[in-house]
Copies of this chain bind each other. A is one copy, B any other.
Amino acid sequence: MTTLSTAGQVLRCFSARRQELTVTEVAELLSLPKSNVSRLLRAMREAGFLESVPDSRGYRPGILMFELGNTYRRDSALVARAHAAVGRVSRDFGHTGYVSIRDGADVIGLTFHEGSRMLRVGTPVGQRLPAFAAATGRALLARLPDEEVARLHPGPLAPPSPNAPQGMDELMQRLEAVRRDGYALAIDESNPGVGSIAVAVGNAAGSEDACLCIVYPLALVDDAERDRMIAALLAEAREIHTRPGATVTARSAAAA
């Protein structure tokens, strides 16, 4: 295995739950000799990928990773417009909204607008979730042909809750509904008490797409309100598609 790909593997060992790793931990996780890992982690630190945790033997991702992560695709024209669009809906209804993208069989939150209500849903930015079990994920999966979806899920599904699709058949049915309706819904699915509405935007051909999403506490939203939010998201998505030229710089979208 080449150094670079091993370094990639090392970085993948970090997560929200594993923010700090030692030589031995990495060696065990990747089944590599300690001598190797020892040198590799040091080299990665010299190169800026990692930094040593003060008063500890551990390593953690370096500031370089933070800087890079911060510009990730936020300035892509599509994501910037999606961010602005979600912001309008989030503001109008007071619930948290975010933009997410798909990476293989997962979805990841890219940007968010925090809701203004006392009771609101937290921020899932940077968190990786199985796409099939999230509204955003199904909105994005629905743009792929069935065989591609199947290819992305070689093993049996591991539904995190009873309201998530329990198998490929159910997933395919729900994707069909998303294609018909133009939006995806997840009620009480990954998170109890939480509902999400998701609408995909962008070029479905895989070149670049993203997903608008509003998440809300089920206790605060009745069916009528939910339908209004769906309509608002669909309208924003239509606006993005019908006027693809209208650029929004990330700066103006992020500023007040």
Contacts and interface: CB of A to CB of B under 8 A. Distances in A.
A64 interface: yes
Given A48-B8, A256-B122, A72 B68 contact: no
Contacts of A70: 69, 125-126
Contact of A66 (B49, B55, B108): B108
A177 interface: no
Copies of this subunit: 2
Contacts of A242: none
A19 B66 CA distance: 15
Nearest to A251: B122
Contacts of A8: 47-49, 64
A101 B63 CA distance: 10
Secondary structure call for the A interface: mixed
Contacts of A2: 3, 43
Contact of A5 (B47, B123, B251, B256): B47
Contacts of A256: 114-115, 118-122
Contacts of A66: 68-69, 72-73, 108, 110, 126
Contacts of A73: 19, 60, 66
Given A5-B43, A66-B69, A254 B122 contact: yes
Interface string A140-182: 0000000000000000000000000000000000000000000
A58 B68 CA distance: 16
B123 A71 contact: no
A134 B104 CA distance: 42
Interface in A1-27: 2-5, 7-8, 11-12, 14-16, 19
Contacts of A49: 4, 8
A49 B64 CA distance: 12
8 closest A-B pairs (Cβ-Cβ)? A69-B69, A70-B126, A8-B47, A54-B207, A66-B72, A65-B68, A66-B69, A5-B47
Interface of A: 2-5, 7-8, 11-12, 14-16, 19, 43-44, 46-49, 54-55, 60-61, 63-73, 75, 101, 103, 108, 110, 114-115, 118-123, 125-126, 128, 206-208, 251, 254-256
9 contacts: A5-B43, A8-B47, A11-B48, A11-B68, A12-B48, A63-B101, A66-B72, A69-B69, A118-B256
